[in-house]
Amino acid sequence: MLLFTCPNCGPRNETEFHYGGQAHVAYPANPAELSDREWAEYLFYRENTRGLFAERWVHSAGCRKWFNMVRDTVSYDVKAVYRIGELRPETLERAAAATAPDQPQQLAPAQANPNNASEGV
C-alpha cells in the first residue's frame, strides 16, 4: 500500500486520497478569445509523462484539502509534496536538466528503466 504525505495530516494510506489530474494547468487569461480548438485543448489535453509528473490530489477521507505532488509515473516514487499555490519545487532530475541544457527535460527511456538498454540488440 502506498503512503502519501498530506501537507496537513502527515503520512496516510493512499486509499484516503483522490486524484485530480495534472497540476499547474493555468486558466486562460481571456477564455472568450480562445478558438474552439484552444478551449478543447485547455479542457481535455494533458501531458502523458513517463517519469516525473506534477499532479493534484485531494485528501478526501481526511482534511479534504487539495495539494500538489510530483510523482514518478514509472516507479510511483513520490518526489515532492507541496501546497496549492506554491511553485513546483526543483527536483534532482529537473536541476540536472537545467545544468545540462543539451539533455531533454524528461528522462530518456534507457535512463528511466535500465532494462530497456538492451532493447534492439
Q: By the criterion CB under 8 A, which residues form the site for other proteins?
A: 1, 8-13, 15-16, 61-65
Closest approach of other proteins to the CB of residue 56, in Å: 17
Residues 23-42 binding Zn ion (CB under 5 A) are none
Closest approach of other proteins to the CB of residue 61, in Å: 5
H helix or E strand, kind and range, residue 26:
none
Does 8 bind Zn ion (CB under 5 A)? Our answer is yes
Residues 61-90 binding Zn ion (CB under 5 A) are 62-63
Burial (0-12, 13-18, 19+ Cβ within 10 Å), 80: middle
Q: Which long-range contacts (CB under 8 A, 24 or more apart) does 83-88 make?
A: 83/7, 84/56, 88/23, 88/24, 88/54
Nearer to other proteins, 19 or 45 (CB): 19
Q: What CA–CA distance (Å, rounded) separates 62 from 76?
A: 22
Give the residues lining the site for Zn ion (CB under 5 A): 6, 8-9, 59, 62-63
